Chain A
Amino acid sequence: MISDEDVKHLGWLSRVELEKEDSEKFARELDRILDYFTILDAVESDLSPLHHVLELSNVFRDDVVADSLTAEEALSNAKLQENGYFRAPRIL
C-alpha cells in the first residue's frame, strides 16, 4: 500500500506541492498502477532483462562543432532571466 507519506515524498522529489485531497487520490491511483505490475510476477523470472527495444548498437557522432543557439534564442522561452542567465528558485 502506498502511504500518504510516500505520496508526499514523491511530490517533493518532483517539486510539486500537493493538497491533502490530492495526495489521497494519488495514493489510490498509484496503488492501482502497482497492482497492475503484479501481473509481471507471474512471468518466469529467468528471462534476461531487455534494456532497449531497438536492436541497434553503437550509434555515435564525430567530435565536430555544430552551430549553437544564440543567447537570445536560448533564453526566448524563459520568463525570468537576468544578464544572460536563466533565473530559477534558489534550492539549498
Chain B
Amino acid sequence: MLNVHESDVDVMIGLECHVQLNKLNTKLFCGCSSDYQNDPPNTHTCPVCLGLPGALPVINRKAVECGIKVALALNCTIQEETLFYRKNYYYPDLPRGFQISQYDFPLATGGIVHLEGEKGREIRINRVHIEEDPGRLVHKGAIEQAKYTMVDYNRSGMPLLEIVTEPDLKSPQEARQFLNKIRNILEYLDVFDGNLEGSLRVDANLSIEGGQRTEVKNISSYKGAERALLFELTRQKNILRRGKKVVQETRHFDEARGITISLRTKEVEHDYRYFPEPDLVVMRVGGWVREIERSLPELPDAKLDRFLREYGVSPVHAKVLTSNIHLANFFEGVASMIDPAFCTRWIADILKGELNYRGVGVERIAQPDFIDLMKLLEEDKITDHGAIEVIRTILDHGGDVGEIVREKGLLKAEIDETEIAVNAVIEEFKGAVDDYRSGKREALNFLVGQVMKKTRGRADPDHANKLLIGRIED
C-alpha cells in the first residue's frame, strides 16, 4: 500500500492550455471580427463560423505567425509540414459537428519553459498547435437544472493555441506558476490579452506516483487551476489513504463550488475519428521561422538577466519587475529619470503590493505622475508614509500627484516649523517632559504626537523625535 504524506508524495501534473489569440482582428478561418466581447450574441458570425453547408475555411496568416512566435518563445521546433484535422464530436458549441484542430503534424513540438525558484525548474513542452474555439454555451441558472442550452457563436472560430506540457509539474502551486509564466510570455509577444473573459482555458491531468491519472476539464482561470488541482490532489490522496485505487477518468471542475465531479464520459480518443481536413491544404512554414525569430521581442528570461546587469537590482526584484510586460516597461521608464536603486523598491515592493491588493494593473497610474512622486521623495519633500498615501489615492480615485499632495497637506513641514512646535510642546507639557526625564519612555511618544498635531501632521516624526530628545536632554 502507498504511504501518503504531504511531503513525500510524488505528484505529476500535465497541462493542456488553450489560449485565445485575441489580439488578431479576425477569426481563424473567416473574416468575422474578433472584437465581440461587448456585443450581443450571434452578431459576429458568417457561413464559415456557423458551419453552414458549402462554406470554405481559409486560414488567417497572422494567426499562424502568432503561433510560430509563441512556439519559438517556448523553445519549440517548428515543423516543416503541418496539417489540420477534423476532430469529430456532436455538441451544441460546434456547429459543424467537428472542430478543426491539429493532430499528427502539429505546428511545433518539443519545447522548454523555465520556472524561476530556489532551484529553478525546466518544464518540457510536448507540442503547440492551432485550433478553432467552439461557441459559448449559456444556461439559465445552474447547468444541472437548465431545461435547454442557449448558444452564442460569436466565439466560434476564434483562433486558439493549445500548449501541451509533459507531466513535469510537481504541485498545484507550480502549475499556477507555469500558467502565469505562459501568460507573461504571450503578453510580451503581444499576441494575447489575459484580462479578456475566456482567454485562457485549461485541462489538467494529475496522478500520484503508482496511481492512475485523472483529467480535469473546464478550468478557466489561473486561480481556478490551482484550486482544481489542489482539490483533485486531496481527493486522490484520500482514496489512497483508504487503501483504494484511483480510477482513470475525466472530471469536470465546478468553479463555483471548488470541486471536481466525475463526468462518466463515453468518448475516448479514437471516438473523435480524426481525419485530415479536406478543405485546407498543407502548410509549409519552415521558411518563415528565421524572419519571425529575428522579430521576436526581448522575452521575460532575457529581460530578467538584463535588469540584473543593467540596473543592479536583486534577483527577487528583477523577477517581480519582469513578471509582467507593462510593469517592466513602467520600471524602465521611471528608471530613466530616477535612480534605479531607489525606485526599484518603490515599484517592485510598494507599488506592486498595492496593485496586487486591488487586483489591478500598472496602467492605473501614469508614469509621469509616478516620476513626480519619486522626485518628491528624493528631494525629501514628502515622507514615505505620505508617498504611499498618494499611490493609494491615485489607484483608488485617480488624480495627479501635485493636487493630491496639496489637498492632503502631505508636503513635509519646513524644519523651523517643526522646531517651533517642539519648543512649544516642551513648554506646554512640562509634566510629560518630567515623566520622560524620570525614565518613562512612553512619554516621548505622547510628545511626538503633540508635535505632529501642532504641525497638522507635516512634521517628519523621526525628526521631531530627535529634536525632542535633544532639547529635553540639554
Is A19 an interface residue, CB under 8 A from the partner? no
Which chain A residues (32-84) contact chain B, with CB distance < 8 Å?
A: 51-54, 56-71, 74-75, 80, 82-84
Task: Please state if A63 and B281 are interface contacts (CB–CB under 8 Å).
Answer: no
Residues of B near A9 (CB, < 8 A) are 266, 271
Residues of B near A61 (CB, < 8 A) are 31, 58-61
Is A1 an interface residue, CB under 8 A from the partner? no
Residues of A near B45 (CB, < 8 A) are 68-69, 74
Task: Please state if B42 and A84 are interface contacts (CB–CB under 8 Å).
Answer: yes
1/0 contact string of B137-159 vs chain A (CB within 8 Å): 01100011011111111000000
CB-CB under 8 A for A62 and B281, given A88-B92, A89-B92? no
CB-CB under 8 A for A68 and B59, given A58-B285, A60-B64? no
Residues of A near B228 (CB, < 8 A) are none
* Shortest Cβ gap from B149 to chain A (Å): 5
Which chain B residues (25-53) contact chain A, with CB distance < 8 Å?
A: 25-26, 30-33, 40-47, 50
B151 partner, pick from A57, A60, A63, A86, beta carbons under 8 A: A86
Task: Please state if B43 and A70 are interface contacts (CB–CB under 8 Å).
Answer: yes
CB-CB under 8 A for A90 and B60, given A51-B282, A65-B31, A84-B42? no
Q: How many residues of chain B are within 8 Å of chain A by beta carbon?
A: 53
Task: Please state if B60 and A74 are interface contacts (CB–CB under 8 Å).
Answer: no
Which chain B residues (258-301) contact chain A, with CB distance < 8 Å?
A: 266-267, 271, 276, 278, 280-285
Quick one: closest B residue to A50, CB to CB?
A: B276
Task: Provide the bound-state CA to CA distance between A59 and B438, in Å.
Answer: 91
Most buried by B among A12, A69, A83: A69
Residues of A near B33 (CB, < 8 A) are 65, 68
Residues of B near A57 (CB, < 8 A) are 281-284
Task: Please state if B149 and A88 are interface contacts (CB–CB under 8 Å).
Answer: yes
Interface of A is mostly: loop
B32 partner, pick from A66, A84, A92, beta carbons under 8 A: A66
Is B83 an interface residue, CB under 8 A from the partner? yes
B62 partner, pick from A14, A58, A63, beta carbons under 8 A: A63
* Shortest Cβ gap from A88 to chain B (Å): 4
Q: What is the size category of the interface that chain A forms with chain B? A: 35 or more
Quick one: closest B residue to A13, CB to CB?
A: B271
Residues of B near A68 (CB, < 8 A) are 32-33, 43-46
Residues of A near B446 (CB, < 8 A) are none
Is B429 an interface residue, CB under 8 A from the partner? no
1/0 contact string of A10-31 vs chain B (CB within 8 Å): 0011110000000000000000
Task: Please state if B92 and A91 are interface contacts (CB–CB under 8 Å).
Answer: yes
CB-CB under 8 A for A56 and B90, given A61-B61, A71-B41, A71-B42? no
Is B342 an interface residue, CB under 8 A from the partner? no
Task: Provide the bound-state CA to CA distance between A92 and B139, in Å.
Answer: 12
Is B311 an interface residue, CB under 8 A from the partner? no
Residues of B near A14 (CB, < 8 A) are 90
Task: Please state if A87 and B143 are interface contacts (CB–CB under 8 Å).
Answer: no
Task: Please state if B147 and A90 are interface contacts (CB–CB under 8 Å).
Answer: yes
* Shortest Cβ gap from A74 to chain B (Å): 5
Residues of A near B46 (CB, < 8 A) are 66-69
Residues of B near A86 (CB, < 8 A) are 42, 92, 150-153
Residues of A near B271 (CB, < 8 A) are 9, 13
B276 partner, pick from A13, A52, A82, beta carbons under 8 A: A52
Quick one: closest A residue to B61, CB to CB?
A: A60
Most buried by A among B41, B47, B90, B138: B41
Task: Please state if A51 and B42 are interface contacts (CB–CB under 8 Å).
Answer: no
Task: Provide the bound-state CA to CA distance between A68 and B266, in Å.
Answer: 36
Residues of A near B58 (CB, < 8 A) are 59-61
CB-CB under 8 A for A59 and B281, given A12-B266, A64-B26, A90-B147? yes
Residues of A near B346 (CB, < 8 A) are none
Task: Provide the bound-state CA to CA distance between A62 and B40, in Å.
Answer: 26
* Shortest Cβ gap from B404 to chain A (Å): 42
Residues of B near A63 (CB, < 8 A) are 24-26, 60-63
A-B pairs with beta carbons under 8 Å apart, 24 shown = A12-B266, A13-B267, A51-B105, A51-B276, A56-B282, A59-B281, A60-B59, A60-B60, A60-B61, A61-B61, A62-B60, A63-B62, A66-B46, A68-B45, A71-B40, A74-B42, A83-B41, A84-B40, A86-B152, A87-B149, A88-B92, A89-B148, A91-B91, A91-B92
Using A60-B59, A65-B32, A88-B150 as known contacts, list a sample of 7 further A-B pairs with CB atoms less than 8 Å apart, ordered by residue number in A: A12-B266, A59-B281, A67-B46, A86-B92, A87-B151, A88-B151, A89-B148
Kindly list the 4 A-B residue pairs having the minimum CB-CB distance in the complex, ordered from nearest: A66-B31, A85-B150, A88-B92, A60-B61
